[in-house]
Amino acid sequence: MDLYNLCHHPRELSECDCEPIHNIATAQGFGGFVKLKSDWSIAHRSLNVADVLGPTTLPNVGLKLRNLFQPTAIETLKKALVDRENRPELTRVFGLQLTASHATFDCALHTVGDGVTIAFEPHNSFGFAGHTSLIGPILAQLESVTDLPTLCGKAAKLVRQMLGYDRVMIYRFHADETGKVIAEDARKLC
């Protein structure tokens, strides 16, 4: 759904579980993304990359990432992809200086085939510290759970409470990229 239709034809909350969240469409205004080919050249990017990162022009498709991000940032991102354990589909890096500006960003790296998508948003050190201090107690509450349905249900509830969202859904994706909601927790709306 494009931004015009989203703004002028609001969707019901119940429609969220039908969205293909693993497919790139648009980015929220506070963050951006670049989808990279195997040679780390830009295959696709959100239209707000320049606004989020601060360069004066939108990077062209085909541009090598080294022309947009600092070499040390690219090295850190590549190392994070190599170092991940048991999480082949998503890797996160927090507080990374992507460009020559002093701004830092939180990045989520998704691998699809031989390409990588890097989603990024400005790092909030205060918010980051607050959220990370909540993670320990949440993990402690999940440690004793031994079955997957209970674990996912409890995790959805705890994440919703921690972040203050109205609804949290946990998906299980299949090899054919279809998915199914296996747990959810929603705030009661009157």
Strand partners, 111: 116
* Per-residue tens of pLDDT for the chain, all 190 residues: 343 344 444 455 455 555 444 444 455 677 899 999 999 999 999 888 888 988 667 899 999 999 999 999 999 999 988 876 555 567 888 889 999 888 899 998 888 778 899 999 998 876 655 666 667 778 888 888 999 999 999 999 988 888 788 899 999 998 888 889 999 999 887 6
Angle, helices 148-163 vs 125-142, to 10°: value is 150
Residue 13 counted as domain residue: no
Strand partners, 172: 180
Residue after which a domain boundary falls, among 107, 123, 139 = 123
Confidence (pTM): 0.57
Domain CATH for 170: 3.30.450.40
Domain that holds residue 78: 25-123
